[in-house]
Amino acid sequence: NAGVMQNPRHLVRRRGQEARLRCSPMKGHSHVYWYRQLPEEGLKFMVYLQKENIIDESGMPKERFSAEFPKEGPSILRIQQVVRGDSAAYFCASSPSIGRETHNEQFFGPGTRLTVL
């Protein structure tokens, strides 16, 4: 069973360009979470999605950032007009439908490291 897949693993963009980060959850998982890790910091929650729905985006910056999880295909985190402060590692995690025996466990992908020049 393949784990959570993220691509690209490394992404370099110049200021003002767009960054698209993709996440394919584990098979059978219907919940996707995005986290951001700034240098020398812990992970911060950005957004939680289910298929075709954004459930909680309280951690997303108000501008330039958007996320989607379409019915078919991977979840996408999109950053428009990137700035140097967007340089970070972006992690995706997935979890199965909530059940007592699998309560709360999130499985993380390897991350996408975004560098803005």
Applying CB under 8 A, which of residues 41, 70, 73, 83 lies at the interface with other proteins? 41
In the numeric block, which tokens belong to residue 55?
């459930």
- Cβ atoms of residues 78 and 20 within 8 Å: yes
Q: Is 48 in the site for other proteins (CB under 8 A)?
A: yes
First to last CA, the chain: 37
* Least distance CB 44 / other proteins (angstroms): 7
Q: Is 66 in the site for other proteins (CB under 8 A)?
A: no
Nearer to other proteins, 57 or 68 (CB): 57
Q: Which of 108, 76, 78 minimizes the C-alpha distance to 92?
A: 108
User: What is the SS3 assignment for 3?
Assistant: coil
Q: Is 43 in the site for other proteins (CB under 8 A)?
A: yes
* Least distance CB 16 / other proteins (angstroms): 27
Size of the site for other proteins (CB under 8 A): 27
Applying CB under 8 A, which of residues 11, 67, 79, 111 lies at the interface with other proteins? 111
Q: Is the dihedral of CA 98, 32, 85, 88 positive or negative?
A: positive
